[in-house]
């Protein structure tokens, strides 16, 4: 099932062509004042406790409001930790069937698709994740990683920039941007 949701975060506006979404509902982050506050704190350049904030945001995004959905998410994550991506995909697909508006279900399945080498399917699930939650900095970083693997370096850089605009402290994203900026712009003397 494909969902349609708004691009509510201007940082994600650069992905309008990638997301192909239409306005329909508020994002998960904007509907949760706790997450909105945590995201605002995360953006402070002098934020020393960003890892704690990142974990709190991830926990909030992992709460579906349904015990069944939460159990399916946990079972899928447990399967991924065991390296059983096919089983994980089955759990995440059941989760999406049960809770089709839950962004984290798509994000988790995108991660499993990526681990299984199915980049197109991963990108499609990341698109849905971002349609429901445009502030999902990990999904944006995932888009960047996939575009980088596909050698679409300009789009990879856009995705990493969007992720960094929301979460400026992730070293993997900073390193990716440095690497891509060097490749795309060259090194100044």
Predicted pLDDT of residue 7: 39
Q: What is the torsional sign of CA 109, 112, 116, 118?
A: positive
For residue 62 the two structure tokens come to 């992992």
What pLDDT does 6 receive? 37
- pLDDT value at position 75? 98
Q: Which pLDDT belongs to residue 46? A: 87
Residue 129 CA to residue 152 CA, distance in Å, equals 21
Q: How many CA atoms lie within 13 A of 170 on its CB side?
A: 20
Contact by Cβ (8 Å): 108, 132: no
- CATH classification for the domain delimited by 10-185, as one of 3.40.50.1820, 3.90.226.10, 1.10.3730.10, 1.25.40.10: 1.25.40.10
Domain coordinates in residue numbering, the chain: 10-185
- 64 touches 172 (CB < 8 A): no
Quote the pLDDT of residue 45. Answer: 85
At residue 151, φ and ψ (nearest 5 deg) are: 65, 25
In this prediction, the residues of the chain whose per-residue pLDDT falls under 50 are 1-14, 16, 20-27, 189
pLDDT score at 18: 54
Distance from C-alpha of 137 to C-alpha of 168, rounded to nearest angstrom: 10
129 token code pair? 């994740």
Q: Is 153 exposed, middle or buried (0-12, 13-18, 19+ CB in 10 A)?
A: middle
- DSSP assignment, residue 45? T
């Amino acid at each position: 099932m494909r969902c349609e949701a708004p691009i509510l975060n201007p940082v994600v506006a650069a992905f309008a062509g990638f997301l192909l979404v239409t306005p329909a509902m508020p994002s998960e982050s904007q509907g949760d004042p706790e997450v909105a506050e945590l995201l605002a704190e995360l953006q402070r350049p002098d934020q020393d406790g960003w890892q704690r904030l990142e974990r709190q945001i991830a926990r909030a995004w992992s709460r579906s409001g349904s015990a069944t959905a939460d159990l399916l998410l946990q079972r899928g994550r447990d399967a991924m930790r065991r390296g059983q991506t096919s089983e994980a995909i089955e759990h995440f697909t059941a989760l999406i069937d049960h809770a089709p508006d839950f962004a984290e279900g798509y994000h988790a399945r995108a991660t499993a698709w990526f681990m299984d080498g199915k980049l197109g399917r991963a990108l499609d699930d990341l698109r849905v994740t971002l349609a429901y939650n445009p502030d999902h900095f990990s999904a944006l970083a995932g888009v960047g990683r996939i575009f980088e693997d596909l050698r679409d370096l300009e789009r990879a850089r856009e995705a990493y920039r969007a992720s960094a605009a929301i979460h400026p402290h992730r070293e993997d994203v900073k390193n990716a941007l440095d690497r891509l900026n060097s490749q795309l712009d060259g090194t100044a003397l």
